[in-house]
Amino acid sequence: AARPPPSWKSITSLKFSTFLAAIKGMGFDGALEPGVGLSLCQGLDLDGCGIISLSDLRWLDGWKPPEWLVCSPDKEAWLELSKRLLKRYRMPLNAWRQMDMDDSNSTSWVEFEMICEAVKFNGNRGGAWRYLDRDVSGTITMHEWHQESANVLHSFKEFLDKEYGSIKLAFEGIDTDNSGSVTYSELKRACKRRGW
């Protein structure tokens, strides 16, 4: 087992190297991955002094990680949730708009749980989340949610920006009858006329 060098007198703190050797010895595989052990140490070292103290670790006893953080990606759970979302909202973009409640172009775990409740999905929510959030960023983007829809939206936005200069000007240009809303036929006509 890893022990501090004889010159180390503290019984409540360890140098990064000793801490890493100890967690490797206890079988924490993450300590063997390049950069993971050092990132862990730096993240735990609240005072930034190059040591891990007992107080740096105490808060872990009360920490309750979110469900998604401790789950493995679960494709089957995602497929079941996706099926329910499409049944309820018909289109991936409609489901996204329901889930991205604050229009931030990303979805939080809280928003994700709310959409799961809305479609009565009680399966492996954390696993479904992790299947989408592959970079473990803690948010899901439209691109992660449904890449095809994200690509179409991106293309459409680029088209509107290029042809009209902004979304606001595009809306005004497409709303040919000045009704304050754009009909499908107005949109289709404008897209066809301008080559999208």
Whether the predicted pLDDT of 82 surpasses 60: yes
The angle at the Cα of 179, spanning 175 to 184, to the nearest 5 degrees, equals 50
pLDDT by residue (tens digit) across 93-106? Answer: 999 999 999 999 99
Task: Write out the DSSP string of 112-144.
Answer: HHHHHHHTT--S-HHHHHHHH-TT--S-EEHHH
Which pLDDT tens digit goes with each residue over 38-69? 888 888 888 888 888 888 888 888 888 888 98
CA 154 to chain centre: 19
| Alpha-carbon gap, residue 112 to 130, rounded angstroms | 11
**What is the structure's pLDDT at 14?**
84
Main-chain dihedrals φ then ψ at residue 51, nearest 5 degrees: -135, 155
β-bridge mates for residue 15, sequence order: 51
* pLDDT the model gives residue 15: 86
Alpha carbon 15 to chain centroid, angstroms: 33
- pLDDT bin (cut points 50, 70, 90) of residue 195 is confident
146 three-class SS: coil
pLDDT tens track for 145-192: 999 999 999 999 999 999 999 999 999 999 989 999 999 999 999 889
Q: Report the chain's C-alpha Rg in angstroms.
A: 25
